Structure 1
Amino acid sequence: MLKGVLIDWGGVLTVGLSEAVAEWIVAERLDADHYRQVMRELIVHAYEGLENSENVIHALERGEISGLDFERHLAARLVTTDGVPPVAEGLLDRMFSRFHRVEPMYEMLRVARAAGLRTCLLSNSWANEYPREGWDDVFDEVVISGEIGMRKPEQRIFEHALGRIGLAGEQCVFVDDIEANIEAARRLGIVGVHHRDPEVTIGELETLLRVSLR
């Protein structure tokens, strides 16, 4: 019987990554095609690269480098429609300001917790400030990569989260929008839900958890 929910933040409890980033690209006046090429290389390497093959995303998500250092690194590789790099300082804050809350997902967590399920945020951070208002109502525990020096899809961060809520992998479901993270969770016996749409995810969780979440 499932007793716990581990859940990602960006792209799950917020609007999708593509939507948020697209809005930020317009506001930042970035060359969109060039941005996607740069980030595709970084993200694919970070989540699908060879084992023990590190890049700047790994270091950022574990908190091994500062947000400002990463902003300078990224800004130097990007270009605006004016042909110059974007302003580095505050680049991540400006990007994450576009990650708007998805209220039905938060309400789902409130209902799940009220039904006796343990809930835990499990998020890879980019040195960003999380909007934590109301989190005490929806999370029993919060695990953020940059605060503990571990990142998804490393096995140890899932083990850490399970320890924090006092449950075994087989007792939990994990919701994320990145397949590599879900595959890592499944290797520990955790049930994986690949998030794409709030209504679909909530319906899938209702089936798995055998409780109404609306």
Structure 2
Amino acid sequence: MSGNQVEAVVFDYGGVLTGPVRASIAAWLRGDGIEPGSFSRTLKAWLSRDAPDGTPIHRLETGALSVEEFDALLAAELTTLDGRPVDPVGVLGRLFAGVRPDPAMFALARQLRDLGVRVGLLSNSWGNTYPRELIDGLFDPVVISAEVGLRKPLAAIYTLTLDRLGLPADRVLFVDDAEPHVLGARAVGMRAVWHTDADSTRAALAEVIPALPPAPHPGADLPHPHPPRS
């Protein structure tokens, strides 16, 4: 990456500031005895790039569908290995039960802020609450899809984030673990990093923010574990 100075880094939440969501999903599938293919097919139908507008996931992310309504719709699409119906109560809670904040990524965000780089959060919510005690004092702005009625990768939510930052797109770098969301950010002129792990993301940021120091010693100034969030 090259060009103008990066003045702000905006992070996704689930899968970026937390550990991988896929590990929690795998544990949920095993725990509930769900046939994995039924979940994969539903996810593709509701979230793939060619999915029609207004799928249950789209409506959940924009706040138009409640968690309880979504749980019921998702459970109805799933099959279990032994033929039992899927309990619709608390499906999303069980799906995200293994998700925890990633201390290395929170440390990275704090180091950026200490350097004078602004840090923000832009997340598609799946109905869960966020650990506000961890994010509100660190990230500004905090843009949650269900709170603003917009969702990634649509251009409007990136533009809203830029407006709240008051910065031009080429001065802002976005970090997300979903390729369509990375491409959506780039489409509005933002720089973007496709996150896979803390070390590679730190290295990518260090290319454009040379003053970024090495990762702190493990266990230093890290957030405490927190109940699952999206």
TM-score category of the 2 structures, normalised to the smaller one: over 0.9
Q: Once the 2 structures are TM-superposed, how far is the Cα of residue 133 of structure 1 from its aligned partner?
A: 2.8
Aligned to 1:33: 37
More helix by share: 1
- Structure-1 separation of matches of 2:27 and 2:129: 19
Counterpart amino acid of residue 34 in structure 1 = S
Q: Once the 2 structures are TM-superposed, how far is the Cα of residue 4 of structure 1 from its aligned partner?
A: 0.3
Q: Once the 2 structures are TM-superposed, how far is the Cα of residue 185 of structure 1 from its aligned partner?
A: 0.8
- Structure-1 separation of matches of 2:135 and 2:200: 23
Aligned to 1:185: 185
Residue identity over aligned pairs, in percent, reads 35
- Structure-1 separation of matches of 2:47 and 2:54: 11
Q: Once the 2 structures are TM-superposed, how far is the Cα of residue 40 of structure 1 from its aligned partner?
A: 2.3
Aligned to 1:19: 23
1:126 partnered with 2:126? yes
Aligned to 1:49: 50
Aligned to 2:103: 103
* CA deviations over 1:22-55 (Å, ceiling 9, x no partner): 12212222112222222222221xxx127x7332
SS in 1 for 2:82: coil
- Structure-2 separation of matches of 1:134 and 1:100: 12
Q: Once the 2 structures are TM-superposed, how far is the Cα of residue 85 of structure 1 from its aligned partner?
A: 2.4
Aligned to 1:138: 138
8 A Cα contact 1:124 1:151, kept in partner: yes
- Structure-1 separation of matches of 2:8 and 2:139: 11
SS in 2 for 1:199: helix
Structure 2 residues without counterparts, runs of 5 or longer: 216-230
Mapping for residues 189-200 of structure 1, pairs under 5 Å: 189-200=189-200
- Structure-1 separation of matches of 2:162 and 2:142: 11
Counterpart amino acid of residue 206 in structure 1 = A
Q: Once the 2 structures are TM-superposed, how far is the Cα of residue 144 of structure 1 from its aligned partner?
A: 0.4
8 A Cα contact 1:109 1:119, kept in partner: yes
Out of 55-64 and 92-101, give the one that drifted further. Answer: 92-101
Change over 3 Å in CA distance of 1:24–1:133 after alignment to 2: farther
TM-score (norm 2): 0.86
- Structure-2 separation of matches of 1:81 and 1:53: 31
Measured on the aligned residues, the alpha-carbon RMSD in Å equals 1.5
* CA deviations over 1:137-190 (Å, ceiling 9, x no partner): 421221000011000011111111111122111110000111111111112211
Q: Once the 2 structures are TM-superposed, how far is the Cα of residue 76 of structure 1 from its aligned partner?
A: 0.6
- Structure-1 separation of matches of 2:156 and 2:174: 15
- Structure-2 separation of matches of 1:158 and 1:65: 22
SS in 2 for 1:122: strand
Number of residue-to-residue matches in the alignment? 210
Structure 1 residues without counterparts, runs of 5 or longer: none
TM-score (norm 1): 0.92
